[in-house]
């Protein structure tokens, strides 16, 4: 009688069987778009003063792995840590529709640094990224949600990062990947959800710690350290999930291979703010476009949104991180500058008079749309005597209102250009797009160091 397989073994086999050249065109295209998006997020985030300070304090020695935003390489572990830390600075990282988390932006620092330092091909790197994403997403789904105190950075994606790292380091050996899954499950991380709304920038170390822990787990698996089989079902799922269902871990896997791809349910954040506010942010964009609203003709603004958005809302933000979690600050920025932008969020003193005219509140009738929707209703009373309202349930960029290929490309180029300028940004973007068809990692890393 055959012994029943643990979920890590099933996931490990599917991850091992992942082959970039055999993936559907839609999966390859989405992977490259998410890779480009994440590189842009890292490059732009690296320009923030907090990241300059972290870079200086870390004193990372020279090494083989590219520090994005620098003209040099660093030790692989340092490159992963510093590149990952930048992903949360501007709150522009990717998201995943079926569970709260940011898979691609945490995977890219790992797969890029490891592939570069170990001399792997772009095909190897992208294969590992897809394998890690697919494992992580299934774990995210199976958790059935996470406790309300747990932050969505550095939890279930860590297991996918361990898969990706093990895939690259072992050449895709199923037993090593399986060990990495249960090993990462037994070393579960848990981070405080409320640091961001409080403006605590130690938050940026969440993805940094998660990615470097994943690397350590993969290295342990390569070295022959063993994991207790079944740790994913016995320990990780019940402790980190709110409605854990182990049967969902193998959904979309047939005969040891992926029969459906969760990476297609990734989404692109088109606003530099908490994703829970994107319905509100889209509504303001619409009112500006449709009615020519500016701060000069505003008497008052009423923001209604769902409960979870208000749970982490910051009424009086003290820095730009907290402002990205503030309905009032993000709306005031859009009204003052014509759009929600990173620079506007830096000057909170300039926003204060306008924020005094804005009220943000929980509307229980909107809760039914969450978590798939991020609803927001914005009503503005204007000096003309007119009252204008706009409601958004599914913001742009989400799985229900997909970002167009042009929007994805424009976002990547905009973020890259902040550090590299328009011409180099275009060259980097084009190089990323070539990776799926035989392009070389060296061409990308050389461009990133320019």
Mean of the per-residue pLDDT values for the chain? 96
Burial of 424 (0-12, 13-18, 19+ CB in 10 A): middle
pLDDT band for position 399 (50/70/90)?
confident
CB-neighbour burial class of residue 318 (10 A; exposed 0-12, middle 13-18, buried 19+): exposed
Topology of domain 7-270+404-448, CATH: 2-methylcitrate dehydratase PrpD (1.10.4100)
Non-local (6+) Cβ contacts of 328 within 8 A are 303, 315, 355, 358, 359, 360
Query: What residue spans define the domains of the chain?
Result: 7-270+404-448, 275-392
Contact 351, 333 (CB under 8 A): yes
CA dist 157 and 104 (Å) reads: 9
- pLDDT tens digits along 402-433: 999 999 999 999 999 999 999 999 999 999 99
Which helix (H) or strand (E) element contains residue 96?
strand 95-96
The pLDDT value given to residue 4: 63
Report the pLDDT value the prediction gives residue 371, as an integer from 0 to 100. Answer: 86
The predicted model gives 35-39 an average pLDDT of: 98
**Tens-digit pLDDT profile for residues 142-186:** 999 999 999 989 899 999 999 999 999 999 999 999 999 999 999
Contacts of 57 (CB under 8 A, 6+ apart): none
Supply the pLDDT for residue 177.
98
Angle made by CA atoms 288, 289, 293, in degrees to the nearest 5? 30
Report the relative pairing of strands 358-362 and 298-305 from DSSP bridges: parallel
Looking at residue 1, its pLDDT comes to: 39
pLDDT at position 20, please?
Answer: 98
Determine what percent of the chain is predicted with pLDDT higher than 70.
99
> Is the confidence at residue 3, as pLDDT, over 70?
no
Max Cα–Cα distance, the chain, nearest Å:
79
133: confidence class by pLDDT, cuts 50, 70, 90: very high
Q: Give tens-digit pLDDT for 95-130.
A: 999 999 999 999 999 999 999 999 999 999 999 999
pLDDT greater than 80 at residue 212: yes
Predicted confidence (pLDDT) at residue 138 exceeds the cutoff of 70:
yes
Mean pLDDT in residue range 216-245: 98
Q: Which of 28-32, 88-92, 322-326, 370-374 has the lowest mean pLDDT?
A: 370-374
Summarised one tens digit per residue, pLDDT across range 280-303 is 999 999 999 999 999 999 999 999
**Extended beta strands in 146-256, E state:** 253-254
Averaged pLDDT for residues 192-214: 96
Dihedrals phi, psi of 255, to nearest 5 degrees: 50, 40
Q: Does domain 275-392 have CATH number 3.30.1330.120?
A: yes
Tokens of 190: 């848990």
For residue 410, the SS3 value is helix
Residue 390 has pLDDT above 60, yes or no: yes
Q: Is 87 helix (H, G, I), strand (E, B) or coil?
A: helix
| Rounded Cα gap, residues 450 and 425, in angstroms | 11
**Predicted pLDDT at 76:** 98
């Amino acid at each position: 009688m055959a012994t029943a397989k643990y979920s890590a073994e099933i996931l490990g086999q599917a991850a091992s069987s992942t082959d970039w050249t055999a993936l559907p065109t839609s999966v390859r295209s989405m992977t490259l778009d998410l890779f480009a998006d994440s590189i842009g997020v890292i490059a732009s985030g690296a320009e923030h003063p907090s990241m300059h300070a972290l870079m200086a304090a870390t004193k990372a020695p020279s090494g083989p792995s590219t520090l994005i935003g620098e003209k040099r390489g660093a030790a692989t572990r340092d490159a992963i840590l510093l590149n990952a830390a930048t992903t949360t600075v501007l709150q522009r990282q990717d998201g995943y529709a079926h569970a709260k988390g940011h898979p691609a932006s945490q995977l890219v620092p790992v797969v890029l640094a490891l592939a570069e330092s170990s001399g792997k091909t772009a095909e190897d790197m992208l294969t590992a990224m897809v394998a890690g994403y697919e494992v992580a997403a299934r774990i995210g789904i199976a958790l059935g949600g996470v406790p309300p105190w747990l932050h969505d950075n550095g939890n279930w994606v860590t297991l996918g990062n361990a898969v990706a790292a093990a895939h690259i380091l072992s050449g895709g050996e199923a037993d090593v990947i399986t060990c990495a899954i249960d090993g990462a499950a037994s070393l579960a991380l848990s981070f405080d959800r409320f640091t961001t709304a409080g403006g605590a920038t130690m938050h940026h170390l969440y993805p940094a710690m998660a990615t470097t822990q994943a690397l350590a787990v993969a290295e342990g698996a390569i070295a022959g350290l063993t994991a207790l089989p079944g740790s994913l079902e016995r320990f990780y799922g019940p402790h980190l999930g709110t409605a854990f269902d182990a049967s969902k871990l193998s959904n979309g896997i047939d005969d040891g291979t992926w029969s459906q791809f969760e990476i297609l349910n990734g989404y692109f954040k088109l606003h530099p703010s908490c994703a829970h506010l994107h319905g509100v942010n889209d509504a303001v964009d619409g009112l500006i476009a449709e009615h020519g609203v500016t701060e000069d003709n505003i008497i008052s603004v009423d923001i209604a949104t769902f409960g979870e958005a208000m749970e982490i809302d910051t009424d009086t933000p003290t820095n730009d991180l907290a402002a990205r979690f503030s309905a009032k600050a993000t709306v005031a920025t859009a009204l003052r500058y014509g759009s929600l932008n990173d620079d506007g969020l830096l000057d909170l003193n300039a926003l204060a008079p306008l924020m005094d005219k804005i009220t943000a509140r929980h509307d229980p009738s909107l809760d039914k749309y969450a978590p798939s929707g991020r609803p927001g209703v914005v009503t503005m009373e204007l000096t003309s005597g007119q009252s204008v309202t706009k409601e958004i349930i599914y913001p742009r960029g989400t799985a229900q209102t997909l970002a167009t290929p042009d929007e994805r490309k424009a976002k990547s180029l905009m973020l890259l250009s902040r550090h590299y300028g328009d011409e180099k940004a275009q060259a980097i973007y084009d190089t990323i797009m070539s990776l799926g068809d035989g392009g070389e990692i060296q061409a990308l890393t050389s461009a990133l160091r320019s």
